[in-house]
C-alpha cells in the first residue's frame, strides 16, 4: 500500500475521526477543474499517452527541478535542447525512468511524491514504493497500462469523474482541438480559457509578430489602439464560444493602471514601436489588466490574475532548453497599491469578478484576505503552485479564513498539465480542507454540520460559482 | 448552547486539560481595557442602547465588510450616505437584522462569529444559532433586553467586570463626556487617550481648520512651530487630567525623523502653507512621532504606534459613506529603519515607553520581536485588528516569544468600539493565551506553575504595567 | 529535573512515541559543527574557563539583550565600556550572576532558557530551577566545576562528542591558535573558516588599514584590484591549509553583481580612495560576493551568505560598548533579484556550492526553497540566529520542505560562541527535526523507516556533505 487511507488527516485520533467523516461525504464528488494546463488535443485525438517517462517525468517541471537541483542534467531526463540542429538521439524512456526511480527518495516530504504515489497505486496498480530496484518493473507495468483502451485520455477523463475541465490557450491559438471536441460525439466537458499574455506582455519574444497574427485571426488592425482592443474583444468572443468563462493573466507583478484613453493609445504606439522602456512596458501591462477588467464587465468572463513569478531565472538554461524548466521563482508581490487603479474603477461593480492568486504567502493575511473580505468582485484563488501542497494549503486557510471567511474563496483548482495527477491533487485538497475543518470543529469554532456543508462547497460548488460554471444536469 | 465551554482549547485531550486549568484561574479576572474606541458619552449619559441592528450591525465594520463583500449594499445595512440632502428614510432595524441573519453563515470561521455568539448567549440569553428563520425571535429578544435597566451602559460596564477602560479622543475633542463622568457619582473608571492624528497628519481633511481649532482650545498660536508644539503640550496635560496615560498614533507608516529644530520649523511652515508635497507631508508625520516621543519623556504618557493601514481604499465608497466602512487595508510595514531616528534619541531612555502594533505579520519575528527584545522602552502590543482572532493571536505568540519573551509584550487590548463584545474579546484572548501556554507545558518548555503565573500576567497585569495603570485598590 | 526526557516532542502521545523512537537513534551521534564562533585559543591553550558569569552571561548576546530590554544596565552585567581610560573596577562575577538569576523568569519561552537548563543539568549537575534564592548555590557549584580538569576546553570537546568544529576567522587573523592546535598532539578536529567581511565591506571601521594589513599578510599589493584579489587567493589558500572548507559572508544584503573586470577595478580604486558613496560601497560588496564565488569554483571552498542583519542599531550603545550587544536587528531581505548576477554566472556550475541563510522568514517559502529546489549549487542553511529555536526551526521545515525537499538543506549548525551550549543546541535541533518527521509519519506522508534515515542525515550527514567534511575514520 502506497497511500494510507488516513493520509493527511490530523494525527489526533478525535480530530482525525471528524476529518474522516467530512472527507467520506466529499471524496467521490465530481471533479471541477476550472483552471489548468492540460492539452485539449489529448481529448480531441484520444490517442494513447506515450511511454511512462514522457507521460510522468519529462513534462513535469516539479520533477525536473528537483532532479536537476541534485545534479542530474536535463538532457538525461529527456529534455531536448531547443537548438535547430539538435541531432542527439532521443533518450530512451526507460533510461529516464531509471534516473528518476533511483532518486525517488529526493521527493520525500514533497507533494510530488504524494501525487505520484497516488497515481502509481490508484491508476497503475502499484503497491511497493518506487526505487532503483523495481524501476523496470514499474516502467513495464505502466507502459503496459498505457496501451490499454481505458488509459486513453477520454476514458481517464471519465474514470476520473471530471465534471468539467478548463484548458488555457493564447489568443494565437485557433482552438482547433476545442472545435474538434465540439464536433465530436463525446460528451466530456472541456472548455478553454483566455490567456492573452503573449499579446499583452511586450517582453514576450516575438511580441510584434504576435500582434500581427492576432490582427489576422481577429480581422482587426492591431496597429492601432482601437483595433488592438477590438481584436481582444473578437478573440474573447471566440473563446467564449468555445466555452471559456474566464481569462487569465500571468504578469510579473499585479500592477494595474487606469490611463486616460489618449494616454493609453500613445503608450500602445510606443510599445508597438519597440521603443518603450522597462517602466513603460510595465505600465502597458498594468493598463491592459484594467482594459481586460473592462471587457470582463462587458462579456461576463471572470478575470484571474496569477502574478509574481520571475520567469526563467537562469539565462543559460533558458537559452538551451526554453521555458518551464523549473526556473520560475516567486518574488515579493504587492496587491493593495498595485490593484488600486483597477479596483477604483471596477472593484464594486456588480458584474465584475476577479480571482486573485499569489506566490507570496505574506500577502494572504496582510493584503489578499482583507481585499477579498470587502470587495464584492474579489475572490481568492486557492494556494498556488509551490503552495499547492499540504502545509501550504493549510497555511492558506489559517491565514485567510479569519478575515475573508470561506465564501470569499474560489474553491480548488489543480492548475496542472500533469493530467494523471488530477485525481491525486483534488484528493489532497479535499483531505486538507477536511482536516482544517475538523480542527475547527474539534476546537468548537464550527459545528460539524456546518463543516460538512463547507466541505461540499469547497469540493466543487465554490469553484462552480466563482468561475460561473453551472453544474451539469 | 452557542458556546462550548472548551472552545478554542487545543484538541488534544491532555493539552486541553492543561489549558482548562490555566483558564479557570484567569477566566473571571477583571477586564483591563487600556486601548479602544468606545464612546464615553455612553457612560456619561447612561441612556439605553438603540435597536439590535444599530447596536450590533451598523457600527461594526467587521460585519459591514463581510456582508458588503457578498453583495449586500451598505444602504440596506442602515449606513447613511453622508450627503447633505439625504432624504431617504432610515432603514428599519428589523430589516437590517434580517439581511444580516440570513447571511450569518458567511461569518463561519471568523472571530466576528465567535464574538457575536458569545454576546448572543451570555448577554442576551440565546441558545440556538442565528439564521433567517429565527431572525425575528432574536431581534425581539435583544430589543426587549435593551429596554431593561441592567442593559444600560453603566450596568453593563459593571457586569462585564471592567476594572478600567480607555477611550480614544482627538485633541479637538473637549472631553465633555469625560468631564461629566468625573463630575458624576458613578465609580466606573473610564479614561481617555490622546490621539492627535487629525492635527498631525496633513492629509487629514480640514487639516488647517483643525490646527486653528487646536490653537483656540489650547490657547496657543498654532501658526508657529513653537506654538504648535506648546498646543500639544497643553492638550496632553488636559488629557492627562482626564485620566489619559497614553497617546496613540495611526500613521500610514512607522516612519520617524529627527530633524534639527530649524529644519522642523521650516517644514511645519511649509505644511501649514498647504504647499508640502507627499514626501514632505510624510516627513512631517515622521518628525511629529519623534516630537511626541519627546513629550512622552516629559509627561510620562506611554506612546502607541498603530501604523500600516491604507485607509479608505475605495474612493467611491468613501465619497458616499465616509470612513470606517471596512475599506482600510493593511500594507507592508517597515519598522527597523523607520523607527531608527526616534529610537536613536529615546530608545534607551529610562522614562520612555513605546508600544508597537502591526498589520504586517511578517514584522513580528523579523523586526518587532528583535526590537522589543532589546530596547528597554519598547513593548509589543497584542495581535491587532484583522489578527485579533484565534489563529492570528496564536501566530503572534509563536512568532514573538522565542525572541522577545513574554514580558516584553503588553498584554491584551480589545481596541473595539463594539462595547457588547468586550467580554467576548477578552475571553477569546485569555483562551488563546492559555492554549499557547498549555502547549508549552505539554512540550515541557514551561512548568505548569510558570504557565499559571504567565496566564495571570497576560490577563491583565502586563497591560496595567505597559500602560502605567495601577490596579484599583 | 530541569529537562524532561520528552521535551519538545509533540504533545500527542502517538506522535510523541514516533518522535521518541526517531530521536533515540540519533541522540548520541557525534556533533558536526561546520559553522560557529568558538575561540580556537580555548582548545589551543586548554586553560580553565573563567567564572560562571564570564562563561555564561557576559559573552552571550541573547542573555544580555533580554536583561537589557528589561532595564538592567550592561555595566551591571560585566560589559566593559570600550573607552580607553575606563577605570571602573570589573564587576564581580557573583554580582552579575545574581542580577541574572533573579530575572531568569524573563527567559520563559525562549531557547536561551532551554539551552541554559540543559547546560545547568547535564554539564553542571543542577536539578532545581535557577532563581534568586539559589543563585549563590548555582554560582558556587559551577565555579567549582570550572576548576576541574574535565571542564577544560579539550575535555569538554571530547565529552561533547564533537566530531569536528569550525571556528570563524578574518583574513587578518594569523591563525596562530589553529597552528598551535596543528602542532599539538591533541586529536580534536578544530578547523577555521574564511570570513573576509573586514577586508570586503568598506563600511568596516579601519577598512583602509585592514586592506594594508591584508597586503602584508598575503604579500600582495592590495592597492591594486589584481593584487587585492590575489591577496584573497593567498589568504584562502592559507585558511584551507588550516582546515577551512568554507567561506562566510555577513553582508547587510544578499546583493551580488557581475561587473566587467575594468569596471570592477575602477570601483575598487574609488572604494580604496574613500570617496565611494553608499550605492558604490554596496556595489563593491555585491561584486565581491561574485568574486568570492569565482574563487570558490577555483579552490573548492563552500560559500556561505548570512545576510540581512542591520548591525548596531543603537548608536549610543555601540559607541559605548561596541558590537555584539544584542542590537543587531533583521531587515527584509531579497534573494531572487539580488543573487541573480552571481547565479547567472555560477549557479549551475558543478564545482560551486553556496549555502544561504536568512533572518527574513518570508523568504523561506517564497524565494529560498524555490532557489534551492532547482539550482544544483544552492543549499539552504538551517534556521538562523533568532530562528534557531523550537518554533523557528519547525516553521523552517514546514515552509521549506514541500518545495526544496530535505536533501537541498544543509543540516544543522549551531553558529554559536557559547561553547557550553553546543550539546544543548544540537539536542534541540535533533528533537525538533524528529518531531517534524514524526508528524509527517503520523499523517502518512513518510514511512517511519524513511523518517529514520532522514533523521540521521539531518543529525550530521547533510552538514558533512554540504560543507565537504568527510566523516573521520
Chains that touch B (3 or more CB pairs under 8 A): A, C
Please say whether the beta carbons of B215 and B231 come within 8 A.
yes
The pLDDT assigned to C471 comes to 75
Query: Per the structure block, which three cell numbers stand in for C190?
Result: 578544530
- Listed by number, the residues of chain B in 363-382 with a beta carbon closer than 8 Å to a beta carbon of chain C are 365-367, 369-376, 378
Looking at the complex, does the CB of residue C435 fall below 8 Å from at least one CB of chain A?
no
**Which residues in chain A have their CB less than 8 angstroms from residue C445's CB?**
7-8, 109, 114, 390
Q: If pLDDT is split at 50, 70 and 90, which confidence band does B311 have?
A: very high
CA distances from B124 to B55, B132, B209, C128 (A): 13, 18, 44, 50
Distance of alpha carbon A253 from alpha carbon A310, whole angstroms = 9
Minimal C-alpha gap between C397 and chain A (Å): 10
The pLDDT assigned to B89 comes to 77
Suggest the residue from A11, A350, A355, A402 to mutate for an interface test with chain B (most B CBs closer than 10 A): A402
- Cβ contact B10–C12 (<8 Å): no
Q: Residue C84: is its pLDDT beyond 70?
A: no
Q: What are phi and psi of C88, to 5 degrees?
A: -65, 145
Looking at the complex, does the CB of residue C92 fall below 8 Å from at least one CB of chain A?
no
Spell out the residues 6+ positions from residue C473 whose beta carbon is closer than 8 angstroms to its own.
Answer: none
The pLDDT assigned to B319 comes to 93
The pLDDT assigned to B79 comes to 94
E runs forming strands in C47-95: none
Residue C188: name the closest of C450, C349, C419 by CA.
C419
Minimal C-alpha gap between A52 and chain C (Å): 23
Nearest to B317 among A348, A371, A442 (CB): A348
Residue A391: name the closest of A70, A110, A41 by CA.
A110
Q: Which secondary structure element, helix H or strand E, spans residue B460, and what is its range?
A: none
Looking at the complex, does the CB of residue C66 fall below 8 Å from at least one CB of chain B?
yes
Distance of alpha carbon C304 from alpha carbon C195, whole angstroms = 9
Q: What are phi and psi of C409, to 5 degrees?
A: -110, 160
The pLDDT assigned to A429 comes to 98
- Cβ contact A373–B13 (<8 Å): no
Q: Residue C416: is its pLDDT beyond 90?
A: yes
The pLDDT assigned to A84 comes to 63
Distance of alpha carbon B53 from alpha carbon C112, whole angstroms = 51
Query: C129, exposed or middle or buried, with CB in 10 Å at 0-12, 13-18, 19+?
Result: middle
Share of chain C above pLDDT 90, in %: 96
**Which residues in chain C have their CB less than 8 angstroms from residue A329's CB?**
336, 367, 370-371, 374
Total beta-carbon pairs less than 8 A apart between chain B and chain C? 126
Q: Residue B202: is its pLDDT beyond 60?
A: yes
Please say whether the beta carbons of B74 and B68 come within 8 A.
yes
Looking at the complex, does the CB of residue A8 fall below 8 Å from at least one CB of chain C?
yes
Spell out the residues 6+ positions from residue A302 whose beta carbon is closer than 8 angstroms to its own.
Answer: A245, A246, A247, A296, A353, A354, A355, A466, A467, A468
Suggest the residue from A110, A310, A329, A332 to mutate for an interface test with chain C (most C CBs closer than 10 A): A329
Question: H helices of A103-242, where?
Answer: 111-118, 135-147, 153-159, 176-183, 197-200, 207-218, 225-241
**Which residues in chain A have their CB less than 8 angstroms from residue B387's CB?**
365, 402
- Hey, is B33 helix, strand or coil? strand
Which residues of chain A are under the pLDDT cut of 50?
none
**Which residues in chain A have their CB less than 8 angstroms from residue B9's CB?**
443
Distance of alpha carbon C97 from alpha carbon A201, whole angstroms = 65
For β-strands C329-330 and C309-310, DSSP reports them as antiparallel
Question: H helices of B119-260, where?
Answer: 135-146, 153-159, 176-183, 197-200, 207-218, 225-241
Chains that touch C (3 or more CB pairs under 8 A): A, B
**Which residues in chain C have their CB less than 8 angstroms from residue A313's CB?**
336, 340, 343, 371
Q: Residue C86: is its pLDDT beyond 90?
A: no
**What is this model's ipTM?**
0.97
User: Average of pLDDT values for C24-51?
Assistant: 97
Domains of chain B, each with CATH number or no CATH: 13-49+150-466 (3.20.20.140), 50-149 (1.10.2020.10)
Q: Residue C473: is its pLDDT beyond 60?
A: no
Q: What is the pLDDT of residues B45-61, one digit of tens each?
A: 999 999 999 999 999 99
Chains that touch A (3 or more CB pairs under 8 A): B, C
Q: What is the pLDDT of residues A37-84, one digit of tens each?
A: 999 999 999 999 999 999 999 999 999 999 999 999 999 999 999 876
Please say whether the beta carbons of C106 and C66 come within 8 A.
yes
Residue whose cell numbers read 460596564: B157
Looking at the complex, does the CB of residue C129 fall below 8 Å from at least one CB of chain B?
yes
Separation of first and last alpha carbons in chain A = 37
Query: C101, exposed or middle or buried, with CB in 10 Å at 0-12, 13-18, 19+?
Result: buried
Q: Residue B88: is its pLDDT beyond 90?
A: no
Spell out the residues 6+ positions from residue A313 whose beta carbon is closer than 8 angstroms to its own.
Answer: A327, A328, A329, C336, C340, C343, C371
Distance of alpha carbon B433 from alpha carbon B425, whole angstroms = 12
User: Average of pLDDT values for C328-355?
Assistant: 97
Nearest to A348 among B70, B106, B314 (CB): B314
For β-strands B162-166 and B378-380, DSSP reports them as unpaired
- Hey, is B16 helix, strand or coil? helix
**Which residues in chain C have their CB less than 8 angstroms from residue A68's CB?**
374, 376
Q: Which secondary structure element, helix H or strand E, spans residue C305, and what is its range?
A: strand C302-305
Residue C409 DSSP one-character state: B
Mean predicted lDDT score pLDDT of chain B? 97
The pLDDT assigned to B366 comes to 98
Please say whether the beta carbons of B248 and B239 come within 8 A.
no
Looking at the complex, does the CB of residue A327 fall below 8 Å from at least one CB of chain C?
yes
The pLDDT assigned to C472 comes to 65
Would the pTM count as exceeding 0.90? yes
Q: Residue C470: is its pLDDT beyond 90?
A: no
Looking at the complex, does the CB of residue C402 fall below 8 Å from at least one CB of chain A?
yes
**Which residues in chain B have their CB less than 8 angstroms from residue C9's CB?**
443
Spell out the residues 6+ positions from residue C260 whose beta carbon is closer than 8 angstroms to its own.
Answer: none
Minimal C-alpha gap between A351 and chain B (Å): 11
Q: What is the pLDDT of residues B314-357, one digit of tens each?
A: 999 999 999 999 999 999 999 999 999 999 999 999 999 999 99
Tally Cβ neighbours within 10 Å of residue A147.
Answer: 10
Looking at the complex, does the CB of residue A73 fall below 8 Å from at least one CB of chain C?
no
Query: B446, exposed or middle or buried, with CB in 10 Å at 0-12, 13-18, 19+?
Result: buried
Amino acid at each position: 500500500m502506497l497511500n494510507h487511507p488516513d493520509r493527511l488527516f490530523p494525527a489526533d485520533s478525535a480530530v482525525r475521526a471528524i476529518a474522516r467523516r467530512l472527507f467520506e461525504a466529499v471524496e467521490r464528488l465530481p471533479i471541477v477543474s476550472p483552471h489548468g494546463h492540460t492539452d485539449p488535443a489529448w481529448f480531441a485525438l484520444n490517442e494513447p499517452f506515450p511511454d511512462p517517462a514522457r507521460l510522468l517525468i519529462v513534462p513535469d517541471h516539479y520533477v525536473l527541478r528537483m532532479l536537476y537541483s541534485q545534479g542530474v542534467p536535463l538532457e538525461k531526463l529527456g529534455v531536448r535542447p531547443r537548438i535547430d540542429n539538435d541531432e542527439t538521439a532521443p533518450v530512451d524512456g526507460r533510461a529516464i525512468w531509471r534516473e528518476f526511480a533511483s532518486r525517488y527518495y529526493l521527493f520525500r516530504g514533497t507533494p510530488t511524491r504524494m501525487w505520484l504515489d497516488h497515481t502509481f497505486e490508484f491508476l497503475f496498480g502499484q503497491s511497493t514504493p518506487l526505487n532503483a530496484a523495481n524501476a523496470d518493473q514499474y516502467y513495464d507495468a505502466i507502459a503496459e497500462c498505457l496501451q490499454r483502451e481505458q488509459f486513453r485520455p477520454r476514458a481517464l477523463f471519465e474514470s476520473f469523474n471530471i465534471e468539467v475541465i478548463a484548458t488555457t490557450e493564447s489568443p494565437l491559438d485557433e482552438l482547433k482541438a476545442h472545435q474538434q471536441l465540439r464536433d465530436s460525439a463525446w460528451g466530456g466537458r472541456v472548455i478553454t480559457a483566455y490567456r492573452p499574455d503573449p499579446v499583452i506582455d511586450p517582453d514576450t519574444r516575438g511580441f510584434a509578430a504576435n500582434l500581427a497574427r492576432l490582427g489576422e485571426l481577429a480581422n482587426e488592425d492591431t496597429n492601432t489602439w482601437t483595433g488592438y482592443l477590438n481584436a481582444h474583444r473578437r478573440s474573447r468572443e471566440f473563446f467564449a464560444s468555445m466555452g471559456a468563462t474566464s481569462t487569465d493573466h500571468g504578469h510579473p507583478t499585479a500592477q494595474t493602471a487606469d490611463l486616460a484613453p489618449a494616454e493609453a493609445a500613445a503608450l500602445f504606439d510606443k510599445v508597438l514601436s519597440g521603443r518603450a522602456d522597462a517602466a513603460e512596458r510595465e505600465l502597458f501591462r498594468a493598463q491592459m489588466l484594467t482594459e481586460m477588467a473592462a471587457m470582463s464587465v462587458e462579456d461576463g468572463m471572470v478575470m484571474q490574475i496569477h502574478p509574481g513569478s520571475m520567469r526563467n531565472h537562469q539565462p543559460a538554461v533558458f537559452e538551451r532548453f526554453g521555458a518551464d524548466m523549473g526556473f520560475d521563482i516567486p518574488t515579493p508581490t504587492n496587491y493593495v497599491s498595485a490593484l488600486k487603479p483597477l479596483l477604483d474603477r471596477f472593484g464594486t461593480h456588480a458584474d465584475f469578478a476577479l480571482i486573485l492568486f499569489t506566490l507570496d504567502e505574506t500577502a494572504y493575511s496582510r493584503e489578499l484576505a482583507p481585499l477579498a473580505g470587502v470587495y464584492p468582485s474579489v475572490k481568492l484563488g486557492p494556494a498556488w503552485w509551490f503552495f499547492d501542497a499540504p502545509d501550504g494549503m493549510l497555511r492558506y486557510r489559517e491565514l485567510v479564513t479569519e478575515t475573508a471567511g470561506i465564501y470569499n474563496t474560489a474553491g480548488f483548482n489543480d492548475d496542472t498539465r500533469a493530467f494523471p495527477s488530477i485525481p491525486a491533487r483534488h484528493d489532497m485538497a479535499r483531505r486538507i480542507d477536511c482536516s482544517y475543518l475538523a480542527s475547527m470543529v474539534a476546537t468548537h469554532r464550527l459545528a460539524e454540520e456546518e463543516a460538512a456543508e463547507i466541505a461540499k462547497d469547497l469540493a466543487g460548488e465554490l469553484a462552480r460559482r466563482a468561475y460561473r460554471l453551472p453544474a451539469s444536469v
